[in-house]
Amino acid sequence: MIRRAFLVVLGLIWLGPTYLLLVNASRPPDSYDSSRAWIPSPDMALFTNFAQAWESANLQESLASTALYSVVSPALGVLIGAMAGYTIVVLRLRYGFWWFMLLFGGTIFPSQMLLVPLFVGFSDAGLYDSRVGMILVYTAISVPLSAFVLRNFFTGVAFSIFEAARMDGASTFRIFWRVYLPLATSALAAVFILNFTFIWNDLLFGLTLTQTAEVRPVMTALAGLVTDVYAGTPVPVGLAAGLVVSLPTVVLFVATQRMFARGLALGGLS
């Protein structure tokens, strides 16, 4: 009984800020008052608030950029990483283990060790503040995890499948594309979702490598909105923006929960 009571009380404390977020994101901007923030407003203004954030903070451009980055980069990363895993495991690349270690080693670098050279190098190469540059960085970050999970996955696939396809005269690329990739759908999806979430939520690389509204990812734009809360953006408008921008990762997670768990189990992460 004490256990339940403790959990319920703690749960209610946790719901408090969630409640405040929902109630105040739906409130007309001019009726916000921090001393009356607990009382729901009779007027539902969530969508007008979001529409206002959409225009005032250039959210549409940032959202378009982030959508592009967080779909294209993990997709490229997962394909490229899967190709490496396939070559190492199935095509038995010479010194494959060491190539794999090289790729997997990419996961251990703290972002802080990459920022200065990326900033300077991108400025020199004309990639600073460009969508191509952001896609390149995010793809590179997505590759190591993809290579890790897909290598583990392909290790569990019977080699006789490859030999049979070979006997039928299929090229190595065709076997990869038509046989191995379809087999790995759930592992590919799991890695895609993990990288999607990381890129969607990224603040640091956006802060360092972009400047203009059309290249800047959405979290960086959102962070700008916070520093402006006192300067201009009304609280309800900021909250509505935060809420809507968080939706895609939630929807993706809930929609693919099953596939996600299975993919990770097969990839040997769990």
How many other CB atoms are found less than 10 A from the CB of residue 30? 9
Q: How many residues form the binding site for another protein (CB under 8 A)?
A: 84
Task: By CB under 8 A, name the one of 99, 129, 130, 262 that touches another protein.
Answer: 99
- Cβ proximity to another protein, 53 vs 189, nearer residue: 53
Q: Does 12 bind another protein (CB under 8 A)?
A: yes
Residues 6+ apart with CB under 8 A from 250: none
Site string for another protein, 103-122 (x = CB under 8 A): x-xx--xxxxxxxxxxxxx-
201-230 positions binding another protein, by CB under 8 A: 201, 203-204, 207-208, 219-220, 222-223, 225-227, 229-230
Q: How far is CA 24 from CA 56, 197, 221, in A?
A: 18, 26, 20
Q: Does 172 bind another protein (CB under 8 A)?
A: yes
Tokens describing residue 103 = 């790729």
Q: Does 18 bind another protein (CB under 8 A)?
A: yes
Per CB under 8 A, which region of 43-51, 56-64, 88-96, 177-185 contacts another protein?
A: 88-96
Per CB under 8 A, which region of 41-49, 56-64, 80-88, 184-192 contacts another protein?
A: 80-88
Q: Does 165 bind another protein (CB under 8 A)?
A: no
Q: Does 158 bind another protein (CB under 8 A)?
A: no
Q: Does 127 bind another protein (CB under 8 A)?
A: no
DSSP for 105-163, written as a single string: GGGSS-THHHHHHHHHHHHHHT-TT-HHHHHHHHHHHHHHHHHHHHHHHHHTS-HHHHH
Closest CB 242 distance from another protein, rounded Å: 4
Closest CB 266 distance from another protein, rounded Å: 17
Residue pair 160/233 in contact by the 8 Å Cβ criterion: no
Tokens describing residue 72 = 């294209």
Task: By CB under 8 A, name the one of 45, 190, 193, 239 that touches another protein.
Answer: 239
41-70 positions binding another protein, by CB under 8 A: none
Residues 6+ apart with CB under 8 A from 118: 137, 205, 208, 209
d(CA 17, CA 4): 21
DSSP for 82-111, written as a single string: HHHHHHHHTS--TTHHHHHHHHHGGGSS-T
